[in-house]
Every structure is written in C-alpha cells, then in structure tokens.
Amino acid sequence: MNPDMDVTTWYLEQTDPGDLRPAREPRLPVDIVRAAIPSPEFNRFLYTAVGGDWQWTERLPWTWQQWMSLLDRPGTETWVAWRDGTPAGYVELVSHDGGVVEISSFGLLPFAIGHGLGGHLLTTGTARAWDMADRWPGLPPTRRVWLHTCSLDGPAALANYQARGFRIYDTRLNVPGDEDDGCTPGAWPGAMRPLPGVR
C-alpha cells in the first residue's frame, strides 16, 4: 500500500433486528453453516483467502494461541458459505459486553464474487448476530450489531452493508492500524487473481 494514500474507515451499525433488510436469494446454491469447532488453522485460511487483495494484514502475525483465544470465547462464531463443498466466504461474529455483537470479518473468496452471494451471506450473518443469545446461555439479548469497513476493502463492501440496513455512525481518516505493517497479505502473492477460464 502507498504510505501516502489516505484511508477512510466507516463505522456502521444496526440497533434493532428490524433494521436488517434481507438480500434476495443468490443465483448459485450455497449452504451457510456454523463452524462449531474452534480452528485457528481454518479461520486463518479464511482470513488470508478472503482478505488477501484487500490488505487484511492485522492478524497475520498472530500466533496459534491468539487465534484460539478469540475463537474459543463464548459468543464468537464463524459462519461459512459453502458452494459445492468448497468454502466461498465467511462471517465472523464476536460478542462484546452489553449485548453488542461485532461483525469482525466478512467477505467472499474470489471465485464467489459476482454471483449474488455477498448480500445473502451478510443477511445470514447479521441475522445470526441478532439471535446470538439463543445459542449462548448467559449472553444478554443482542441490542446492537456493528462493523467497520475501509476504502481498502472491496468496492462493493460499503454499499452491501448499507443495502442490508447498516447505518454509518462515524467516519475517520487514517485510523492507526490501517497502514502497511510489512506483512504480505493473502495465502501467497497473486493468489487472489482468478486464472482465465476458472469459474
């Protein structure tokens, strides 16, 4: 990333389950399943495979134990979209105090982009954020769902969040952590560029 480039970060929220505006069904059949067993290896794969082209580098230095500490917390969930047995994208939810649930990661693998899966996956993930307490005894009912995205993310990201009923409540320029930290994003250089003829 160009160190002189400004990065805008948008913070969005829903404060009522009725705020969610569901997307239409995707053009391709997809199954969305919760990954119920905490797996740092699997979540790190999803993080690099989805975020490689969008400068997701913050978690790349994490140890196995740091991943497990997040994934093994009550109220942390990973919901994975599967297309013909292949992971197509994911939503990671993290509960915080006071009935607040963060959509901490969301996105699609390159082959799944452009088929209407993003809106459907975000709809499902947001709905699961709202009913989080149903699956975790002791958690309070969700009263707020929030997330952030930035100008380094996919070009459709902000519009997708807003189309699902998320409202911007804060905008910031050059948030610490947005800068390049020296880590190489993605599973390997160039991994996120689909080959010609690959559907």
DSSP of 62-100: --HHHHHHHHTSTTEEEEEEEETTEEEEEEEEEEETTTE
Q: Please state, in angstroms and rounded to a whole number, the distance separating the CA atoms of residues 173 and 57.
A: 18
Length of the chain: 199
- For the chain, the domains span 8-173
> Facing residues of 93 across strands?
77, 103
pTM to 2 decimal places:
0.86
Assigned CATH for 8-173: 3.40.630.30
- Residues 47 and 32: their CA atoms lie apart, in Å, by 17
Tens of pLDDT along the chain (199 residues) come to: 445 578 888 999 999 999 999 999 888 889 999 999 999 999 999 999 988 777 788 888 899 999 999 999 999 999 999 999 999 999 999 999 999 999 999 999 988 888 889 999 999 999 999 999 999 999 999 999 999 988 877 778 899 999 999 999 999 887 765 444 444 444 444 444 443 444 4
